[in-house]
């Protein structure tokens, strides 16, 4: 009995330590009574007109447009890679998303840089006054959904869960989960941006969805992490969007807490 007691004490301490670590590594964010806008940038390191748009989006949080008002995501497309510089952040999936979105809004061509605000082409240029007005309008709207987003992070994966409740019946509503990284930079050695050092934020590393939702649902996804990704700069985002119109019902983002 004495031996068992001596063995149980360290074991209990170890279990308590692991339990505390698991709790410490879990973080959550819940959407509020105002609708958060969704800004999506389609960009490429192979496009010489993209760096100004990249810098503009990177500066948004410092100008009062943080995740509490607008969730920003930057998708690097792959169709500029043929010019001699292969964008290391580019994915065919993002090109596919851009094509699908532009088909929905009846744009005949796709281009970079392209900004999409709440599922619609945003061509007002990099005007902060117009952007301020658009975001204020969005924030004054009642959201069409509630999102409770949670993240448990470790060195290998980001375990993400989103509990979503629709406020109204919305055929075709879907949930998307995104893992993105800030504070990235590359020295470009070929292509249209040869010789430039390009900096990026909100770079989507992985996108999961669409997950169909009818009323309410819990969507879970495990994002596998590459060794080169800096966990301190990772974030996860969740947004609810309709397939037919692209309307964004709600969005929320959460920084890494592993």
Residue 21 domain-assigned?
A: no
Residue 4 domain-assigned?
A: no
Which residues does 111 contact at the CB level (< 8 Å), separation at least 6?
A: none
Residue 2 domain-assigned?
A: no
Residue 222 domain-assigned?
A: yes
Range of the domain at 157: 28-255
Q: Quote the pTM value.
A: 0.89
Domains held by the chain: number: 1
Over the stretch 164-221, which tens digit does the pLDDT of each residue have?
999 988 889 999 999 999 999 999 999 999 999 999 999 999 999 999 999 999 999 9
- Is residue 79 within 8 A of residue 50, CB to CB? The reply is no
Residue 66 domain-assigned?
A: yes
207 C-beta neighbours (distance < 10 Å), count: 20
How far lies 100's CA from each of 95, 96, 145, 240, in Å? 9, 6, 23, 17
Residue 157 domain-assigned?
A: yes
Over the stretch 22-48, which tens digit does the pLDDT of each residue have?
444 789 999 999 999 999 999 999 999
Residue 10 domain-assigned?
A: no
Over the stretch 104-117, which tens digit does the pLDDT of each residue have?
999 989 999 999 99
49 Cα distance to chain centroid: 23
**pLDDT band at residue 258, thresholds of 50, 70 and 90?**
low
Tell me, what CATH number does 231's domain have? 2.60.40.10
Average pLDDT value over all residues in the chain: 90
Distance, first Cα to last Cα, the chain:
39
């Amino acid at each position: 009995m004495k031996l068992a007691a001596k063995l149980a004490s360290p074991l209990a301490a170890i279990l308590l330590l692991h339990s505390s670590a698991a709790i410490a590594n879990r973080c959550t964010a819940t959407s509020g009574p105002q609708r958060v806008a969704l800004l999506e940038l389609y960009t490429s390191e192979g496009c010489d007109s993209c760096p100004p748009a990249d810098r503009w989006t990177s500066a948004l949080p410092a100008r009062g447009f943080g995740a509490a008002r607008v969730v920003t995501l930057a998708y690097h497309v792959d169709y500029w890679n043929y010019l001699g510089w292969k964008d290391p952040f580019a994915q065919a999936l993002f090109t596919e998303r851009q094509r699908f979105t532009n088909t929905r809004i009846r744009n005949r061509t796709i281009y970079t840089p392209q900004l999409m605000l709440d599922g619609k082409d945003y061509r007002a240029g990099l005007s902060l006054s117009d952007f301020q007005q658009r975001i204020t309008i969005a924030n004054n709207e009642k959201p069409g959904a509630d999102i409770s987003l949670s993240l448990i992070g470790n060195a290998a994966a980001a375990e993400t869960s989103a509990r979503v409740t629709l406020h109204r019946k919305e055929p075709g509503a879907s949930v998307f989960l995104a893992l993105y990284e800030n504070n990235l930079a590359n020295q470009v050695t070929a292509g249209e941006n040869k010789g430039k050092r390009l900096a990026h934020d909100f770079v989507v590393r992985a996108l999961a969805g669409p997950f169909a939702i009818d009323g309410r649902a819990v969507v879970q996804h495990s994002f596998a992490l590459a060794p080169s990704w800096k966990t301190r700069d990772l974030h996860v985002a969740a947004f609810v969007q309709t397939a037919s119109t692209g309307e964004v019902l709600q969005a929320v983002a959460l920084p890494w807490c592993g």
